[in-house]
Amino acid sequence: MITVPDGFGAGLGEGAPEWVAKLPALATKACARWRLTPDGALMNGFCAVVLPVRRADGHPAVLKLTWIDEETKHEPLALRLYDGNGAVQLLGFDEELGALLLERLYPHSLDDEPIELAVAVIGELLRRHRAIQAPGEIRRFSGELADHPAIPRKLLDAARDVADSRPMGTTLVNEDLHYENVLRGDREPWLMIDPKPLSGDPEYCMIPLLWNRFDEMDGRKGLTGRFLALCDAGELDVAKARDWTLYRAVANWIWALEEDLGDVAENCAEIAGWAVRT
C-alpha cells in the first residue's frame, strides 16, 4: 500500500520506530475502513504521512496518519471546531488507527506567495477564528522555562515575567500557524492545515510568522514592519503580541539549542533581542 521514506520518524520519541513499521498496515486498514483508493505519491512531514486517495464516490481526499503526542492528539477536535471555516475539512477520524480523512488541497502554499498577500490571508484567518473558544480538554499554556547557559539572564527573566504576569485567554489557538501550513483550496482560496491546538491568546500565534521567511526581512526594521503588519491584519493587541513573541522566542531558542538547530537558534535569539527592546 505505502512505502515509508527512510529516516521518517527520527526524533519523534519513544515508540516511534514501532509506529513507523506499522504504517503500511495502518494505511491498508484505513483505506478498507473508508473504501479509499490510493491516488498519488505518499507525502510526509515531521510527524505524519499523507496519502492522496479517492473515496468510493470518486471524490478526492487525503489520508493522514499522525504520530500522536501532546501537540497532535487534539488535531481532530480542533478541525471539528473550525468546521471548515478557513481550515481543511475533516471528513473522518479513526482514533485507533490515528487516521484522519481530509479534503484534498493543492500543494501551493502561502510560502509561494508575496509576503504582503501571505500576511493579509493569515490576518483574515486570525480574525475569523478569534470567536472560537477552546474546550476544556485542549492543552493549556504551562509557562515553564528551563535555564540554559547560552541564554542571557536578562532575556530569561523577561520571558518568565511575561509568563507570570500576562493572563492567558481561552481562544482556540493554532500555535503552529505559518505560511507553509496554509494551502490553496477549491472550497475557499486558502485553508489552514495541521493545527497544533492550544487554549490561549491569538497573539500567541505570532512567532512562527516571524521566524518563517526570516531572511526576507531587513534586520530590525524589517522585523518591526512584519510584526506590525501582522498585528494590523489580524487585529492583534500589539503589547500582548510583543510579550508572547518574547516568551516564545526564548522558549524556542532553548529548544533549538538542545536540538542543535543552529539557524533556528540564531533567528530566535534575534527575535528575542528585538522583542525585549521594542
List residues with catalytic annotation: 176
d(CA 268, CA 278): 15
Contact 182, 190 (CB under 8 A): yes
- Give helix 262-277 / helix 219-234 axis angle, nearest 10°: 80
Contact 145, 251 (CB under 8 A): yes
Residue environment code for 95-115, b if the CB has 16+ CB neighbours within 10 A, otherwise e: eebbbbbbbbbeeebbeebeb
d(CA 44, CA 9): 10
Nearest to 107 by CA among 175, 191, 3, 211: 191
Helix (H/G/I), strand (E/B), else coil: 62:
strand
Report CA torsion sign: 158, 179, 212, 44.
positive
Question: Look-up: residue for cell 481543511?
Answer: 88
The amino acid at 158? A
